[in-house]
Structure 1
Amino acid sequence: MPTGNKPEVMMKKSQIGFLFILPWLLGLIIFTVFPIIAALYIS
C-alpha cells in the first residue's frame, strides 16, 4: 500500500482548482460586484 503525502497532494489539487476558477471570479467581481457597489455609492 503506497504511503503518499495525501494532505500535500490535496493542497496541490486545491490550488490548481482555484487557478481554474480564478478568471470566473475576477469576471464576477469586475462585471457584477463592482458596478453594484459603485451604484450604491453614487446613489
Structure 2
Amino acid sequence: MRPPSPLSLAWRKFGSGKAVEDIVTLFTQRRPEISGFLEIFGNPRS
C-alpha cells in the first residue's frame, strides 16, 4: 500500500494532513492572506 501524502487534506487513520494544518493556521492566526474571506464570512450578522 502506498503511504499517504503529507499534503493530503486528511488521512483516514492519522487525522489531518499538511494542507488542512496550514489552512487552520491561517484562520487561527487571522493572517492577512485570508482577510478578504474573513470580511465576507467572518462577521456574524446581528
Q: Same fold (TM over 0.5)?
A: no
Relative to total residues, which structure has the larger strand share, 1 or 2? 2
TM-score by length of 2: 0.35
TM-score by length of 1: 0.35
Larger relative contact order, structure 1 or 2 (CA cutoff 8 Å, min sep 6): 2
Q: Rg: which structure is higher?
A: 1
